[in-house]
Amino acid sequence: MAKKADKIECNRCGKCCLAGEGNLFHWCEYLFFTRLGTPTCMIYDKRLGKQITGGTCISRKDTKYDYPNCPMNTGKPIHPFWEGKT
Ligand code: SF4
Ligand code: SF4
């Protein structure tokens, strides 16, 4: 079992919770922002494979993009919505 310090952990920024195509990206309808602006998935335990407007929720490691400041990045292109943004 990996030590906690060895694990790459999501910082829960919510940046990968976009759906759609082209210039029509939108936040997933299951992404909830608290009053403090912290994003939370409303269906976290059942999210994988869930149909969302504009796509399907998949494991972060299976997405085809990187996201700004995401510790899960693997050298893929930055998601088009976030190009030039942080
Ligand atoms: S972009 Fe990365 S850090 Fe942000 S919520 Fe997604 S996996 Fe977590
Ligand atoms: S269902 Fe998936 S894309 Fe939607 S908020 Fe939850 S983790 Fe993000």
pLDDT digits (tens, 9 = 90+) for 56-82: 999 999 999 999 999 999 999 999 999
Ligand nearest to the CA of 8: 1
Q: How far is the CA of 41 from the centre of ligand 2 (A)?
A: 5
In a domain? residue 3: no
pLDDT digits (tens, 9 = 90+) for 42-51: 999 999 999 9
Short-list 34, 69, 46, CA closest to 16: 69
In a domain? residue 29: yes
Rounded CA-CA distance 63/73 in Å is 10
Q: Report the domain count for the chain.
A: 1
Domain interval for residue 40: 11-79
pLDDT confidence of residue 54: 87
Model-level pTM? Answer: 0.86
Ligand 1 pocket residues where CB is under 6 Å: 10-16, 60, 67, 70, 72
In a domain? residue 1: no
In a domain? residue 64: yes
Rounded CA-CA distance 69/16 in Å is 11
In the three-class reduction of DSSP (H, G, I as helix; E, B as strand; rest coil), residue 32 is classed as strand
Q: How far is the CA of 46 from the centre of ligand 2 (A)?
A: 9
pLDDT digits (tens, 9 = 90+) for 11-43: 999 999 998 877 788 999 999 999 998 999 999
The CA-atom distances, in angstroms, between 29 and each of 39, 47, 52, 57, 67 are 12, 12, 7, 11, 19
